[in-house]
Structure 1
């Protein structure tokens, strides 16, 4: 018997992407797919597109909000409506790659302890989709506790979102996304999943297309990076709070995550200085965030490095050293990115 997969597609003014998005779900082979589109009172042609898709294929249903509820409420409504073995939340501007659901469900059917599976989400920067890799090279499996530890050590979210397939029982047990975390609810949810189940990854293949454009809800640039770090902090604090349930070693894990975020803040501040994009107030905000989050950071080499860069005007030698440090950081970033693409963690 085929596994049943409920794909929920929240949509707000993304009618131009909706046909392609829904089509990527309906064309999945080896699984029984049902699609629910939730139109959060779009002002474009989303309602007309929804009706057209539902009339064309009985596997498609849609809900039209009479008032805008926002993305978190829309996500959670989709979870409440969902039925089946597995659950996928797919933004209307993203797509699934051919065969991704059969690859993910095969892993989870073989390993019942796995509550969430992800893979590589290929970025798309225009209308043309690059060819997707559809042959996997194997699976990676982590005990949930080990995956949480890796996330805390890195201080970052390893998952984008469209590449995630979650076991329906796990998804509904956890009660969905938290409205108190509008910018990092997904990261917090992954941590809560890992607290009660194992995590899997499909390697070698592309599991989704993630569209990158100016309207991306979570897109960040240099000027918004501190905002992103604060959102990650909030996700860690929430995931390890008492109300989230008992996580072994929660205090140590939270301290690890806070230290990593503090170091990331200092590293980014140094990068801003090296690239000439820094302002005194901006650098000070990163330093204040790091010190507040992890007070012992002031005795670290990274703190002394930032203090030196942000202090008196540098001479030729210190400028040369600054460029050297910048090159090292860029190389480290490239290596971390390649490891993440290959393994799903870094």
Structure 2
């Protein structure tokens, strides 16, 4: 890990004036989750929290529950929109107009914070003034799961990455490694980076993290989950964005924005857009290869993958996944499936993917 500094997360000494973390909780029809979400925040130790629930004109009892929580907890405030403004405008309202104090985080009303999450993030930033954002792993849980977090498997540790080197790796891999639940920013860094882009409705968080890395170093906390992400049928990731590779289209828009609006900064950081777009083009091509290996490729979907890859990277013919797809097309799906001629390649891809996930859980990507 030559591009990082590893430090042990020691207990924070008691102080009379604890750092303030502003927690923005946007809510739209998540009244049934709101109370457990807020309680997971106000119960955080080692920091002072101030909470803003923004109800975006929900049709359920979210607004009523929010007001009841504000009565119960003096550090909770509520804003109720008379008309729906959408999630991006709601995020920016809380992060840019309301947030104050030392640090800020955004937490969806259906997610939660594990015990100690904010203290671990703040401790790392207090010890490293150049760090502007801290993230960590998440725990996924179902709609009826217990709000308690499991015991960690390792001693909590923290890693500090140079913002420039972290950004270079994100551009090289073209994958978002930062989950939103539990990610904390310095309030001044949030203002310097700006708000969420309304054009990036699905990948605005990825765009935000990349812009933060332009102005600050990045921290990662391992050993404990830093956020709890609820899986349920009405969540955004389970509903609107169900296409198998819609995410790669949004990631392309993120990098289009980054390379257009920050070209000079990226050039000075030694970041070339070509490898980024080559990697983005390769993702759907490998998916198409897998469809041939399974013996039942959908012709239209495969054509869309090739069209996207060609549009994304003009030199698509030189890419390994493109050549791999053409070999499978020449042999035919029935032959690929019956003979399993490419099973070795599939196993290698699967092992590399598992190794990537191992590194993400240990080092943050």
Residue correspondence of structure 1 range 1-346 to structure 2 within 5 A: 1-79=17-95, 80-129=97-146, 131-133=149-151, 136-219=155-238, 224-242=243-261, 246-249=265-268, 252-276=271-295, 278-313=297-332, 314-315=334-335, 319-345=339-365
Would the alpha carbon gap of residues 294 and 220 (structure 1) be closer, same or farther in structure 2, given more than 3 Å must change? farther
Aligned length: 345
Runs of 5+ in structure 2 lacking a partner? 1-16
Bigger shift: residues 95-104 or 281-290: 281-290
Q: How far, CA to CA, are the matches of 1:246 and 1:141 in structure 2?
A: 21
- Deviation (angstroms), 1:223: 6.0
Runs of 5+ in structure 1 lacking a partner? none
Q: Is the 8 A contact 1:124 1:210 kept in 2?
A: yes
Q: How far, CA to CA, are the matches of 2:257 and 2:66 in structure 1?
A: 36
Q: Is the 8 A contact 1:152 1:260 kept in 2?
A: no
Secondary structure of 2:341's counterpart equals: helix
- Deviation (angstroms), 1:25: 0.2
- Deviation (angstroms), 1:183: 1.1
Q: Is the 8 A contact 2:108 2:181 kept in 1?
A: yes
- Deviation (angstroms), 1:307: 1.1
Q: How far, CA to CA, are the matches of 2:167 and 2:262 in structure 1?
A: 17
Normalised by the length of structure 1, the TM-score is 0.93
Would the alpha carbon gap of residues 222 and 266 (structure 1) be closer, same or farther in structure 2, given more than 3 Å must change? farther
Q: How far, CA to CA, are the matches of 1:251 and 1:83 in structure 2?
A: 34
Please list the CA deviations of residues 24-46 of structure 1 after superposition, one character each: whole Å capped at 9, or x if unmatched. Answer: 00000010001100000000110
Normalised by the length of structure 2, the TM-score is 0.89
- Deviation (angstroms), 1:70: 0.2
Bigger shift: residues 335-344 or 36-45: 335-344
Would the alpha carbon gap of residues 271 and 222 (structure 1) be closer, same or farther in structure 2, given more than 3 Å must change? farther
Q: Is the 8 A contact 2:222 2:361 kept in 1?
A: no
- Deviation (angstroms), 1:221: 10
